[in-house]
Chains A and B, each alone.
Chain A
Amino acid sequence: MTMTLRDIINKLLRRQPASASTARERLQLVLAHDRSDLSTELLDQMRKEILEVVAKYVEIDVDEGAVSLETEDRMTALVANLPIKRTMTGQIQLKEPPKQSEEETEGTDQKS
C-alpha cells in the first residue's frame, strides 16, 4: 500500500482520501474475487471451515482473525491472519504417530 504526500495531508486534515486510492482498493478486492471465481458465500464457508480446523489445535482470536483473498501480479493468494491466544499442547494427540514421517524419510533415502 503506497501513500503519497496528498494522502498524508488528507489524513492529517481528516479529509476524505482522493478517490483514486479508493478506486484502487476497491478494484484490488473485487478482482481478487473475480480471478479466483469464488463467491462470497463459498469464501465464507471456507473461512469457517479453516477456522474450525485451526481451532482444534490452537485457541484463536476469532474476532481479530481474517481470511481473505489478495492479488498481486495476476496471482491470487489466500491469506489467513489468525492471532493465536494459546496453543493446546498436551490436549491433542497425533492422529497417525510417526509412521507417516518415517515413510517420507524412507522415500528420500531411496532417491539419494
Chain B
Amino acid sequence: MATDTRVILICSGKGGVGKTTLTANLGISLARQGLTTAVLDADFGLRNLDLLLGLENRIVYTAQEVLEEECRLDQALVKHKQESNLSLLPAGNPRMLDWLKPDDMKRIVDMLKEQFNYVLIDCPAGVEDGFKNAMAASQEAIVVTNPEVSAVRDADRVIGLLNTNSIKPVQLVLNRVRPKMMANQEMLSINDVTDILALPLLGLVLEDEQIIVSTNRGEPLTLNSVNSPAAKCYLNIAKRLQGEDIPLIDPLKESSGFGAKFRRLMQTKIF
C-alpha cells in the first residue's frame, strides 16, 4: 500500500488549453520514473483521456460500476500497454449523466490511494458540478493555462475556488508557449502570467506540432517522441513534481541568431 499518495487535480477553467494532454503526458512521465500512477478521467460527459492514451477500446467498466459494486476496482482499471505503471480509470459512462457526487469521487480516490503513488485527476472544463466533484477528492492542484486573456481570466476564477477550498499547493503550468511571439511581445510573457495569477510556475510547455501527431496515434509524446520540444517540457514538469531542481527553459533563448538577439534587446525593461 502506498502511504503518501499524492492526489493532484489538473484543471484550467477554460476548455481546450491542454489539461488532458498534460494529464496523459505527466502520467506517462511519472510511470517512467517507476512511480505507480492512476489517471482518473473526471470528465465523464465528454471523456477524452482514453483516446489520448490509446486505451479507448479497452474500457469495460468505469468508476460507477465499482461504486455500485458491479465489479472490482482492478477490473475497471485499464493498464497501459507499454507503461505498466500507468492505469486509467474513467469516472463514468457518457450516457449516465449527473450520477456523480463529491462523496463518490472521494470514495473512488480513496480506493486508488491504496494502490498508487500518484493519482492525477483530469478535471472537466468549467467551474460547475464536474469541477466541484473533482476538487472534492483532491489535495493539491495544477492549473493549466495558455498565454491568452481568456484562458488566464478563467484560470483566475479557478484559482479563487481552489484557494477557498484549501487546496494546496496550487501550481501553474503555462501551456502552448510560442517563443517567437513572446519575444516580439505579441504574447503575454511568462512573468505577465505568473504575476497576474500569483502562482508558482511548475513549468511551461512549448507549442509543438507533434502534439497533434501524437493524439492522432493515441501515443503521448513522452512515450515515444521524448526529444520533441513539448515532451522535454512534460518530462521536466514530472521531475519537478518529484522535487528535482530542474531549471526552466528560457523561451527567448529557444530561438537563436541575430533576430533573437535583437528581440531580446527590444525586451529590455527601461522603467
Asked if A and B bind, the verdict is yes
> Which residues of A are interface residues toward B (Cβ below 8 A)?
2-9, 18-21, 23-24, 26-28, 30-31, 34-35, 73-74
Complex contacts, B197 vs chain A, CB 8 Å: 74
Query: Smallest Cβ distance from B194 to chain A, in angstroms?
Result: 11
14 contacts between A and B (CB under 8 A): A4-B266, A4-B270, A6-B267, A7-B185, A7-B270, A9-B266, A20-B187, A21-B185, A23-B188, A27-B196, A28-B196, A30-B149, A30-B153, A35-B156
Q: Are B267 and A4 in contact (CB under 8 A)?
A: yes
Q: Give the complex CA separation of A28 and B193 in angstroms.
A: 11
Q: Smallest CB-CB separation from B185: which chain A residue?
A: A18
Q: Are B267 and A5 in contact (CB under 8 A)?
A: yes
Q: Are B198 and A3 in contact (CB under 8 A)?
A: no
> Which residues 175-190 of B have a CB within 8 angstroms of A?
182, 184-189
> Which residues 134-162 of B have a CB within 8 angstroms of A?
148-149, 152-153, 156-157, 159-160
Q: Are A5 and B268 in contact (CB under 8 A)?
A: yes
Known: A34-B153, A35-B156. A20 touches B269 (CB 8 A): no
Q: Are B188 and A3 in contact (CB under 8 A)?
A: no
The answer, yes or no, to whether B97 is at the interface (CB within 8 Å) is no
Complex contacts, A31 vs chain B, CB 8 Å: 153, 156, 196
Contacting A6 at CB < 8 Å: which of B149, B152, B159, B185? B185
Known: A34-B153, A34-B157. A8 touches B186 (CB 8 A): no
The answer, yes or no, to whether B70 is at the interface (CB within 8 Å) is no
Query: Smallest Cβ distance from A11 to chain B, in angstroms?
Result: 11
Q: Give the complex CA separation of A20 and B190 in angstroms.
A: 11
Q: Are B269 and A2 in contact (CB under 8 A)?
A: yes
Complex contacts, B157 vs chain A, CB 8 Å: 34
Complex contacts, A3 vs chain B, CB 8 Å: 269-271
Q: Are A24 and B188 in contact (CB under 8 A)?
A: yes
Contacting A4 at CB < 8 Å: which of B149, B186, B269? B269
The 7 A-B residue pairs with the shortest CB-CB distance in the complex, in nearest-first order = A18-B185, A6-B266, A20-B185, A74-B198, A5-B268, A73-B198, A5-B266
Q: Are A20 and B152 in contact (CB under 8 A)?
A: no
> Which residues of B are interface residues toward A (Cβ below 8 A)?
148-149, 152-153, 156-157, 159-160, 182, 184-189, 192, 196-198, 265-271
Complex contacts, A24 vs chain B, CB 8 Å: 188, 192, 196
Contacting A20 at CB < 8 Å: which of B159, B189, B268, B270? B189
Query: Smallest Cβ distance from A19 to chain B, in angstroms?
Result: 5
Q: Give the complex CA separation of A34 and B149 in angstroms.
A: 13
Query: Smallest Cβ distance from B214 to chain A, in angstroms?
Result: 29
Complex contacts, A18 vs chain B, CB 8 Å: 184-186
Complex contacts, A4 vs chain B, CB 8 Å: 185, 266-270
Q: Give the complex CA separation of A61 and B179 in angstroms.
A: 46
Query: Smallest Cβ distance from A6 to chain B, in angstroms?
Result: 4
Query: Smallest Cβ distance from B77 to chain A, in angstroms?
Result: 38
Complex contacts, B159 vs chain A, CB 8 Å: 74
Q: Are A27 and B198 in contact (CB under 8 A)?
A: no
Q: Smallest CB-CB separation from B186: which chain A residue?
A: A19
Q: Give the complex CA separation of A61 and B49 in angstroms.
A: 59
Query: Smallest Cβ distance from A50 to chain B, in angstroms?
Result: 26
Q: Are B267 and A27 in contact (CB under 8 A)?
A: no
Contacting B149 at CB < 8 Å: which of A21, A26, A35? A26
Given contacts A7-B270, A19-B185, A30-B153, 20 further A-B contacts (CB under 8 A): A3-B271, A4-B266, A4-B268, A4-B269, A5-B267, A5-B268, A6-B266, A8-B270, A9-B266, A19-B186, A20-B186, A20-B187, A20-B192, A23-B149, A27-B149, A31-B153, A34-B156, A35-B160, A74-B159, A74-B198
